[in-house]
Amino acid sequence: MIEVEKVGFSYPDGRLALKEISFQVAAGETVGLIGPNGAGKSTLLMHLNGLLGLPRKTGVIRIGGREVNDQNLLEIRRRVGLLFQDPDDQLFSATVAEDVAFGPMQLELPPKELEQRVQDALRAVHLPGFAARAPHHLSLGEKKRVCLAGVWACQPEILVFDEPTANFDPRGRREFIALCRSLPATKLIASHDLEMILALCSRVIVLDGGELVAVGETTAILGDEEFMLAHGLEKPHSLFHSHPHAHRAVPTVCQPANGMAKPAV
């Protein structure tokens, strides 16, 4: 469904952000994209719906067999829904409802269906009663939820999420994971939230310094402590569970006299 072939990219200031990246994602797969700050994750994701194009791009990207180029950007953007890392890059309307409706409006849906999709999407991200709010007055986590609703409302075949759980509270994060599991789309998720990647992704792609340094099964790569540390990452706590002292890595809870539970230090 996604084919990336020897893709390279330099920003206008000359910074080489991607070097000869090649990988494929099959239909229905959920794949994680991990790597330290500045690795090139967001740059790569933006290429998938043609946001960063020629003349500084080399290589080929195909979506469902169709090459991403200036001639078919509209079709590509219908097929690939991109959740930006920074919600302020995605929100520009006067109200939340208008922002969520913007994407599906391009699909020329009947007004009733458009309205229904906006309502369903806001419900799915647990923002009931937010339709008339101004997006720029929302908290960071609320903004990210509005962006997610906007992408979800388009029901694209491919969902590309850049740091979807950043700024989510723990309940919102759990809800996101459940929502993501319920969606049949092909998914590519860039994140530093490695427990979420572990929960959702069967395979991961690792970038470092603009280069692809590994592609493979999630637990095999995330469980390789030496490899993870060498690339500015860490083996997730949950993968230490088989270790005899694993419980020490997880905060335990003690019960003080007043009955209030607090984390033991």
Mark 38-57 with x for binding to Mg ion (rule: CB under 5 A) and - for no binding.
---xx---------------
Q: Does 64 bind ligand ATP (CB under 6 A)?
A: no
Q: Which stretch binds ligand ATP (CB under 6 A): 37-45, 92-100, 119-127, 142-150?
A: 37-45
Query: Nearest to residue 48, comparing CAs of 15, 24, 12?
Result: 24
Among 30, 49, 85, 165, binds Mg ion (CB under 5 A): 85
CB of 229 to ligand ATP, least distance (A): 17
Most distant CA pair in the chain, distance:
69
The partner in contact with residue 37, picked from Mg ion, ligand ATP, none with C-beta cut-offs of 5 to 8 angstroms by kind, is ligand ATP
Q: Which stretch binds ligand ATP (CB under 6 A): 40-48, 64-72, 134-142, 194-202?
A: 40-48
Which residues, including other chains, have CB under 8 Å from residue 27's CB and lie 6 or more apart? 1, 186
Size of the site for Mg ion (CB under 5 A): 3
Among 7, 21, 31, 40, binds ligand ATP (CB under 6 A): 40
Q: Which stretch binds ligand ATP (CB under 6 A): 7-15, 69-77, 96-104, 107-115?
A: 7-15
Residues 116-175 that bind Mg ion (CB under 5 A): none
Q: Which residue has the tokens 């939230």?
A: 193
Q: Does 185 bind ligand ATP (CB under 6 A)?
A: no
Residue 25 vs 34, nearer CB to ligand ATP: 34
Q: Is-contact 35 207, C-beta < 8 A?
A: yes
Which residues, including other chains, have CB under 8 Å from residue 177's CB and lie 6 or more apart? 165, 196, 199, 200
Residue 44 vs 96, nearer CB to ligand ATP: 44
Q: Does 42 bind ligand ATP (CB under 6 A)?
A: yes
Residue 46 vs 151, nearer CB to ligand ATP: 46
The partner in contact with residue 79, picked from ligand ATP, Mg ion, none with C-beta cut-offs of 5 to 8 angstroms by kind, is none
Q: Does 39 bind ligand ATP (CB under 6 A)?
A: yes
Residue 144 CA, chain-centre distance (Å), reads 11
CB of 262 to ligand ATP, least distance (A): 33
CB of 193 to ligand ATP, least distance (A): 11
Q: Does 70 bind ligand ATP (CB under 6 A)?
A: no
Residues that bind ligand ATP (CB under 6 A): 11, 13, 15, 17, 35, 37-43, 85
